[in-house]
Structure 1
Amino acid sequence: FSYGQVGDTHDGSFEISQIWNAILHDLLLFENQFPFDILVKLFDMAKDSNQQSAPDNIVDIALSSLAKLVPYFGNFPPSKIPPNNVDHLLGLVHDSWCSSFAEIVSSPGNIYASQGSKWRVIKCATELQEVGIKFETATESSSLFDIKFKNGIMRIPPLQIDDDTEWFFRNMVAYEQYKRGTNAHYVTDYMTFIDCLLDSPKDVKILRDCGVIDNGLGDDRVVSNMFIKMTNHVNVCAARFCYSKVFNRVNEYCGHPWRTWMANLKHNYFNNPWSIISVIGAFVLLVLTVIQTIYSILHG
């Protein structure tokens, strides 16, 4: 289950690495899942009993091999999930990936909702920035899904986007959409959140400039279109949307009359350099007119 176990050779190492990566991709495809019990039996048959130092937990081996495909996976401690509780590889990676956020959600006093909170969607990053909201990178968070908003600052864990991003998220969302017996759809909710923020390439640039997004694809338009496509026809359970409280806080902040007025001013009059020059020119002309009027009155 690791590249070193597949083969150790200097000849054709690049080709072997490419083949191994393709195998790992196939193992996580939603349509390729098979019972984990079969994998356990194959592992037991192939394990060399003479290698005393070899790991004997197939769950840990699987996670360590697939970790590089998972965004913000980090260095996970040995898994507490027994092999007989694993349905398949995709479910194992999903549950392990979401476990840290599940602990945050279940902790007392957290800002995330489990059910029952009413909410409405938030504006895109550009419009949020116009009302004074700032975006920062939450590098200390233990989970990619741990997005917080407080005092006009939205803190989002960094997301590296590359050629594997769309493939990975699509399979995770598909798993959540079709899995029975769970109310938590953390990946789906996260994708909904990011999709709200990214309406255009300009939104991507805002998050890229503050370090939230690392765009390995190069083109910001490709990123915005990718998130729009990935959330099409995806069912979001409104009653169990885990970011409902965060959305409500953001909308409450944006709804302040003063911030709304400032946002309209920026959008209508300061959205390009020529508009700014025109406003400054009009202001200077007004000041000069007032000065001339006062001078005429005093010396009339």
Structure 2
Amino acid sequence: MTEERDCVTVRIENLLDHLSASFTPSKPIIAKVDQHLRQANEKDFEPEIVSIGPIHRGKDRVKGMEQHKLRYLRKVVGRRDELSIEKCVLEVRSMEQKARLYYPKSISLDQDEFVEMLLLDGCFVIELLRSYWFSDLRDKNDQIFQFDHMLAQIRHDLLLLENQLPFFVLNELFDMTKMEDPDDNIHDLLLFLAGDALPWPDSSKLDSSSDMLHNAEHLLGLVYDSCFSFSFSAKHFTENNGSNTVHHTYSASEMEEGGIRLHGSRGISLRDISFTKGVIKLPPLCISDKTESLLRNLIAYELCFPNDHPRYVKDYLFFIHCFIRSTKDVEILRRSGIISNFLGSDEMICSMFNRLGKNVVVSSSDFCYSNVFESVNRYERLRRGRWMARVRRNYLKISAVLCFSY
């Protein structure tokens, strides 16, 4: 007689079998944003006017741009006599399986729908890039370039994590439709368009090294690599005797009271934050109503990496957040040329960084700016030491005078 097995045992074993069959060890490159990040503001991660990729495809707010995608497709394909819709479809179909790996497995589009989406969205981005750079390519009645607010919304939408196309798809379509003009270069056009949407001045001068562009996963990833993904030298991490612990931080007003000055630097590279001879220099930050959304999407993209990947965005935000504890701190940063306020009041900027700070945890072992904090603390300890030495000297002089007078 066969012994009857415990029903809970059987159930758990079935669950384990299902888990082992469906488990995937890595996150998709174009992922849905984690729920804990969405809680602050759902709209920070959703497109306002155009969907790119499958995640937001078909939603009511982005349907109005679908006809425009067809117009742009016709323009892109029509510039070269040897091109046809069929050739483009066959080329995109050959990339379909690889492109799917970039997205969550929950995407329900069938093969034909997915190929159509890649072609329409890819050609839309490519024509937008070219029209943004080559103004003579714009149709007179192109509403995107007739209204500045619409163009700004589209730039914002193109930098959302959930609204991306794999870079290799864009690159292939761009090469297929390439014009003879030597300025028709996807890397330069992408950085030119993205640069105007970023909060750092002169962002059109973003790093566009060939290796960085070759390894780009999508447009947001290209922006991330250009602005944040930089390799510090070994000296950067060992200046403070191997310790990367942030023992103490000062607000902007505390630094000003302590004789430390803050200046905006000329560059946009986030690696060029430094402290020398009592002066902290860091790239200026132009804050508008789109800045918080961009920074949140950069954080969300960074969370797609394994835990051993440096958290450049979080470290940068923690660094800036340490300076801002009140509206007085914001005023000091404005006066120092570090913050330009296109958002509204100083209170709004203070609130924005407080919101961002709630989701920021400083890197435990490799904080990017630990040497800057340690240099500030050393400077402050040395300054206090000198001040105490002067007090003691003055005290002794006064005591000597008083003793002599008696």
SS of the counterpart of 1:173? helix
What's the counterpart of residue 218 of structure 2?
Answer: 88
SS of the counterpart of 2:205? coil
SS of the counterpart of 2:228? helix
- Deviation string 1:60-108 (CA, Å, 9 cap, x unpaired) is 3212221111224242475414765221111111112236xx26x2386
- Partners of 1:122 and 1:239 in 2: CA distance: 17
What's the counterpart of residue 270 of structure 1?
Answer: none
Which of 171, 178, 194 aligns to 2:320? It is: 194
Contact kept? 1:183, 1:240, Cα under 8 Å: no
SS of the counterpart of 1:238? coil
What's the counterpart of residue 170 of structure 2?
Answer: 39
- Partners of 2:207 and 2:281 in 1: CA distance: 26
Contact kept? 1:60, 1:79, Cα under 8 Å: no
What's the counterpart of residue 240 of structure 1?
Answer: 366
Query: Cα distance, 1:231 vs. partner?
Result: 2.2
Query: Cα distance, 1:181 vs. partner?
Result: 7.5
What's the counterpart of residue 197 of structure 2?
Answer: 69
What's the counterpart of residue 262 of structure 2?
Answer: 135
> Does residue 27 in structure 1 map to residue 155 in structure 2?
no
Structure 2 counterparts to residues 207-226 of structure 1, below 5 A: 207-226=333-352
Which of 185, 190, 193 aligns to 2:311? It is: 185
SS of the counterpart of 1:118? coil
Q: CA 1:54/1:9 → structure 2, altered by over 3 Å: closer, same or farther?
A: farther
Identity percentage of aligned residues: 37
> Does residue 120 in structure 1 map to residue 251 in structure 2?
no
CA-atom RMSD in angstroms: 3.3
Q: Which residue identity is paired with 1:176?
A: E
Query: Cα distance, 1:11 vs. partner?
Result: 8.1
Which of 138, 149, 155 aligns to 1:7? It is: 138
SS of the counterpart of 1:69? coil
Contact kept? 1:37, 1:84, Cα under 8 Å: no
- Partners of 2:212 and 2:331 in 1: CA distance: 43
Larger Rg: 1 or 2?
Answer: 2
Q: Which ranges in structure 1 are unaligned for 5 or more consecutive residues?
A: 263-300
Contact kept? 1:112, 1:243, Cα under 8 Å: no
Q: CA 1:80/1:107 → structure 2, altered by over 3 Å: closer, same or farther?
A: farther
- Deviation string 1:208-247 (CA, Å, 9 cap, x unpaired) is 1121211122311111111111121233312110111111
Query: Cα distance, 1:120 vs. partner?
Result: 2.1
Q: CA 1:112/1:68 → structure 2, altered by over 3 Å: closer, same or farther?
A: farther
Aligned residues: 255
Contact kept? 1:147, 1:157, Cα under 8 Å: yes
Q: CA 1:202/1:78 → structure 2, altered by over 3 Å: closer, same or farther?
A: closer
Query: Cα distance, 1:169 vs. partner?
Result: 1.3
Q: Which residue identity is paired with 1:36?
A: F
TM-score for the superposition, normalised by structure 2? 0.55
Q: Which residue identity is paired with 2:251?
A: C
- Deviation string 1:161-206 (CA, Å, 9 cap, x unpaired) is 1222212211112211222386332222111111000011000011
Contact kept? 2:207, 2:226, Cα under 8 Å: no
Contact kept? 2:264, 2:282, Cα under 8 Å: yes
What's the counterpart of residue 290 of structure 2?
Answer: 164
What's the counterpart of residue 188 of structure 2?
Answer: 60
Q: CA 1:82/1:175 → structure 2, altered by over 3 Å: closer, same or farther?
A: closer
> Does residue 253 in structure 1 map to residue 383 in structure 2?
no
SS of the counterpart of 2:262? strand
Contact kept? 2:265, 2:282, Cα under 8 Å: yes
Contact kept? 1:138, 1:156, Cα under 8 Å: yes
SS of the counterpart of 2:330? helix
- Partners of 2:379 and 2:159 in 1: CA distance: 40
Q: Which residue identity is paired with 2:259?
A: G
Q: Which ranges in structure 2 are unaligned for 5 or more consecutive residues?
A: 1-128, 389-406
Q: Which residue identity is paired with 1:41?
A: E
**More displaced stretch, 142-151 vs 74-83:** 74-83
SS of the counterpart of 1:246? helix
- Partners of 2:301 and 2:270 in 1: CA distance: 18
Contact kept? 2:192, 2:204, Cα under 8 Å: no
Greater relative CO (CA pairs within 8 A, separation 6+): 1
